[in-house]
Amino acid sequence: MSTTLYILIGIIVALLVYAGIQAFRLKKAVTNLTQEKFIEGYRKAQLIDVREPKEFEAGHILGARNIPSSQLRQRFKEIRPDKPVYLYCQSGARSARAAMFLKKKGYTQLNQLQGGFRGWTGKIKSK
């Protein structure tokens, strides 16, 4: 085999290991909740929509606060670390990244809506 092939295999292995580590860290940082479980707990928690303002205004879960993931680094202190946090975005990717960030900042009670707002069938509010 050529050196280029060994390098390519090494890169692929490294990417797979990195993806596995990220998935493990995410699983430790946030609890994925079905819509039913999400509904059971979000009224007693801080409900945060991490989508951008235009997405939020088009429709959001009733009672949610909008702290876009693009502003989270500046605004995370608006979220109390001593209360459960329920996060969601459109698909789950941004809320997962937000949960990882909040975990690094010491937040421990992090939950996210499995599948994101895209699959939400509960009450919504829109402007």
Q: Which amino acid is at 75?
A: R
| 103 CB-side CA count, 13 A | 17
Structure tokens that stand for 75 in this block: 């605004």
68 is catalytic: no
Please answer whether residues 29 and 44 qualify as being in contact, where contact means their C-beta atoms are separated by less than 8 angstroms. Answer: no
Place of tokens 């699983």: 27
Structure tokens that stand for 1 in this block: 């085999």
Which of the following is catalytic: 33, 89, 96, 98?
89
| Active site amino acids | 89
